[in-house]
């Protein structure tokens, strides 16, 4: 059965690397052969080629096979079997070239280690096959090549014959050791890769659980305000006259719709899915004020101050998320004002500044010390008995995801200025 190695990107890259290495080997041998032909003489340390045409023909056929594999790999996925067969063809091509250029005496027989080393990147089975084929091919050179290796006699010829046999034994031992140890390294790396994949999967599951937990906590935090408003209105319904009761019912309906909107966002844990997948319609500062009209109409928030030249600038950020952040800042500011016994509305200002949307919310409550600014953004950090400590934490997280920033600044003589800055371009 054929085992495909191109199912994933790493295997495809490994197969391409094998082909590149084989092509480099063929190219270098071709350049060496051309240089020897150009000089019309062989170096003294290289055995004379008994069959130069045979060697040249083998090299051309070998290069043609590599070119065919280049074209085929572009159309068909590489396989373990195919890579192994091509490495076996490399061994046979090297053997044919060595047999035509000195046989076992050729010092380039060390090149047998190239396909053997490349085989370790294919599979353990093919590594042993290529190692055995290389040892057999080296041994065959003794039988195929007459000369000193098969010399008729004499102490020098006999000594040289023993030297070549020693080379063959060294090659066999080195090939076996390389196969064993490289295979063990490959097995170890594969085990590590499997362990890393398992850890990555576990980390992803833990992240999903964390996102779900943060989502539930954030939704509970957001639902607290509209549900509290509904509770207050419901408690006063019986004592209201018909006109006030009608307005109260409208307010309750608005708060219920807000609760439904918050629950609807629970299907997209961190930011709405359309933020990342669809182009968003641009909006203006007046559009954002319309979204916040339920707060602006109550008198707890000063009607938003927008410079005349900034009223019509377009922002490409997700409007629903920006509204959620600004609403959180307004609620925090209103609570700070009431806790300080102040009835003045908080200040909301918007402007376009240096290519960014800048929204500031200012209250004159108890304020905050500089050393407590960063602590205010930590999760579960709150001074309110009924608070969850997630509002500012989630708001800053959303601002960062949109490429912006959220910061707090003390105001003199007392109070806090919250500043939200977001790029006008929005997510790409």
Model confidence over 318-357: pLDDT tens digits?
888 898 899 889 988 888 888 888 877 888 999 888 889 9
Q: Is the pLDDT of residue 361 over 50?
A: yes
Instruction: Record the tokens describing residue 70, joined without a space.
Output: 């280049």
Residue of 36, 57, 61 lying closest to 47 (CA atoms)? 36
Ramachandran assignment for 378, one of left (phi > 0), alpha (psi -120 to 50 degrees), beta (any other)? beta
Instruction: Record the tokens describing residue 270, joined without a space.
Output: 């961190």
Question: Torsion angle of alpha carbons 162, 163, 167, 169, nearest 10°?
Answer: 30
The residue with greater pLDDT, 76 or 163, is: 76
Q: What is the mean pLDDT of residues 17-36?
A: 74
**Cα distances (Å, whole numbers) of residue 162 to 4, 47, 100, 169:** 44, 18, 21, 11
- When mean pLDDT is compared over 10-19, 170-179, 362-371, the highest value belongs to 362-371
> In this prediction, what percent of the chain has a pLDDT beyond 90?
6
Q: Is the pLDDT of residue 407 over 90?
A: yes
Q: Which of 176-190, 317-331, 408-422 has the lowest mean pLDDT?
A: 176-190
Residue of 172, 105, 83 lying closest to 134 (CA atoms)? 172
Q: Is the pLDDT of residue 426 over 90?
A: no
Q: Is the pLDDT of residue 6 over 50?
A: no
pLDDT in tens, 273-318: 444 445 678 888 888 888 887 777 766 676 667 755 566 778 888 8
The whole-angstrom separation of Cα 225 and Cα 255 is 9
Which pLDDT belongs to residue 135?
82
Angle between helix 124-144 and 80-100 (nearest 10) = 20
- Beta bridge partners of residue 347, listed in sequence order: 362
b/e map 236-248, b = 16+ CB within 10 Å = eeeeeeeeeeeeb
The whole-angstrom separation of Cα 65 and Cα 92 is 13
Which pLDDT belongs to residue 218?
65
List strand residue ranges (DSSP E) for 166-244, in order.
Answer: none
Q: Beta strand 416-423 with 356-363: parallel, antiparallel or unpaired?
A: antiparallel
Q: 179: number of CA atoms within 13 Å, CB side?
A: 23
The whole-angstrom separation of Cα 169 and Cα 159 is 15
**Cα distances (Å, whole numbers) of residue 103 to 36, 93, 139, 161:** 18, 13, 10, 12
The whole-angstrom separation of Cα 20 and Cα 33 is 20
User: In terms of residues, how long is the chain?
Assistant: 428
- Residue 209: pLDDT band with limits 50, 70, 90: low
Q: Is the pLDDT of residue 173 over 50?
A: yes
Which pLDDT belongs to residue 360?
93
Q: Is the pLDDT of residue 427 over 60?
A: no
Q: What is the mean pLDDT of residues 379-391?
A: 64
- Beta bridge partners of residue 422, listed in sequence order: 357
Residues 6 or more apart whose CB falls under 8 angstroms from that of 65 comprise: 86, 89
Instruction: Record the tokens describing residue 420, joined without a space.
Output: 């939200």
Instruction: Record the tokens describing residue 219, joined without a space.
Output: 């939704």
Q: How many helices (H) and strands (E) does the chain have?
A: 12, 5
Q: Is the pLDDT of residue 151 over 50?
A: no
Domains and CATH numbers, the chain: 9-150 (no CATH), 275-423 (3.30.565.10)
Its pTM stands at 0.46
* Residue 301 near residue 348 (C-beta atoms within 8 A): yes
Which pLDDT belongs to residue 23?
80
Q: Is the pLDDT of residue 220 over 90?
A: no
Mean pLDDT estimate for the chain = 75
**Cα distances (Å, whole numbers) of residue 104 to 59, 108, 135, 407:** 18, 9, 12, 77
Instruction: Record the tokens describing residue 271, joined without a space.
Output: 């930011």
């Amino acid at each position: 059965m054929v085992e495909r190695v191109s199912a994933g990107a790493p295997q495809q890259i490994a197969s391409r690397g094998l082909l590149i290495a084989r092509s480099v080997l063929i190219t270098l041998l071709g350049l060496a052969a051309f240089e020897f032909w150009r000089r019309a003489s062989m170096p003294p340390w290289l055995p004379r080629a008994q069959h130069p045409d045979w060697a040249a023909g083998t090299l051309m056929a070998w290069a043609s096979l590599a070119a065919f594999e280049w074209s085929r790999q572009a159309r068909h996925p590489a396989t373990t079997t195919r890579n192994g067969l091509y490495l076996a063809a490399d061994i046979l091509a090297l053997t044919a070239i060595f047999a035509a250029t000195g046989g076992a005496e050729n010092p380039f027989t060390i090149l047998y280690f190239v396909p053997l080393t490349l085989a370790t990147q294919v599979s353990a089975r093919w590594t042993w096959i290529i190692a055995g084929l290389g040892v057999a091919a080296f041994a065959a050179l003794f039988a195929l090549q007459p000369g000193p290796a098969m010399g008729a006699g004499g102490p020098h010829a006999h000594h040289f014959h023993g030297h070549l046999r020693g080379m063959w034994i060294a090659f066999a031992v080195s090939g076996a050791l390389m196969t064993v140890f490289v295979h063990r390294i490959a097995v170890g790396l594969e085990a590590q890769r499997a362990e890393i994949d398992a850890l990555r999967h576990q980390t992803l599951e833990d992240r999903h659980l964390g996102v779900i937990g943060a989502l539930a906590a954030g939704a509970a935090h957001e639902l607290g305000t509209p549900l509290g408003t509904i509770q207050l209105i419901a408690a006063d319904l019986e004592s209201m006259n018909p006109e006030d009761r009608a307005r109260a019912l409208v307010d309750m309906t608005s708060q219920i719709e807000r609760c439904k909107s918050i629950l609807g966002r629970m299907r997209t844990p961190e930011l709405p899915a359309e933020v990342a997948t669809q182009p968003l319609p641009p909006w203006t500062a007046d559009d954002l004020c319309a979204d916040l009209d339920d707060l602006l109409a109550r008198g707890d928030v000063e009607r938003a101050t927008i410079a005349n030249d900034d009223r019509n600038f377009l922002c490409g950020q997700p409007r629903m998320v920006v509204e959620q952040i600004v609403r959180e800042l307004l609620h925090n500011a209103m609570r700070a004002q009431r806790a300080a016994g102040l009835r003045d509305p908080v200040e909301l200002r918007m402007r376009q500044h240096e290519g960014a949307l800048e929204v500031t919310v200012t209250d004159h409550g108890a304020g905050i010390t500089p050393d407590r600014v960063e602590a205010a953004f930590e999760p579960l950090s709150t001074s309110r008995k009924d608070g969850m400590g997630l509002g500012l934490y989630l708001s800053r997280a959303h601002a960062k995801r949109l490429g912006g920033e959220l910061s707090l600044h003390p105001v003199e003589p007392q109070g806090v200025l919250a500043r939200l800055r977001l790029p006008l371009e929005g997510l790409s």
